[in-house]
């Protein structure tokens, strides 16, 4: 009886951490089918990442990646961003709006 109870506890105890995860990225969002963005959006996003890298390292270094948290951090510090980063973010918004 003890062996059965112990194996039951071990089996379900080891499965609990995997059940607690909400997905491969840990994001609570529902899985949706993604469509690849147009090349102009990819280029603008890459330019934004490069331009805002220093601001990200300075203002949002402790923010975990994923679920849009780094961008939320940059937006929260909008008044402290460099002019180049602010312009790159605006350019990305413009390109995304034009590609819709």
φ, ψ at 53 (rounded to 5°): -60, -45
Between CA 22 and CA 2 the distance in angstroms is 33
pLDDT for 25 equals: 52
pLDDT for 34 equals: 81
Coil vs helix vs strand at 33: coil
pLDDT for 76 equals: 96
Mean pLDDT of 41-58: 96
User: Would you state the structure tokens that stand for residue 57, as one six-digit string?
Assistant: 């390292």
Q: Which residues contact 62 (CB under 8 A, 6 or more apart)?
A: none
**Positive or negative, the Cα torsion across 98, 71, 22, 64?**
positive
Condensed to tens digits (0 to 9), the pLDDT of residues 75-94 reads 999 999 999 999 999 999 99
Of the pLDDT bands very low, low, confident and very high (cuts 50, 70, 90), residue 12 is: very low
């Amino acid at each position: 009886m003890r062996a059965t109870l112990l194996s039951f506890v071990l089996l379900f105890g080891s499965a609990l951490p995997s059940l607690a995860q909400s997905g491969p990225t840990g994001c609570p969002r529902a899985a949706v089918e993604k469509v690849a963005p147009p090349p102009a959006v990819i280029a603008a996003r890459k330019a934004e990442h490069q331009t805002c890298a220093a601001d990200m390292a300075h203002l949002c270094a402790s923010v975990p990646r994923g679920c849009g948290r780094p961008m939320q951090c940059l937006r929260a510090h909008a008044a402290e961003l460099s002019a180049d980063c602010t312009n790159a973010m605006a350019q990305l918004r413009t390109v995304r709006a034009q590609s819709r």
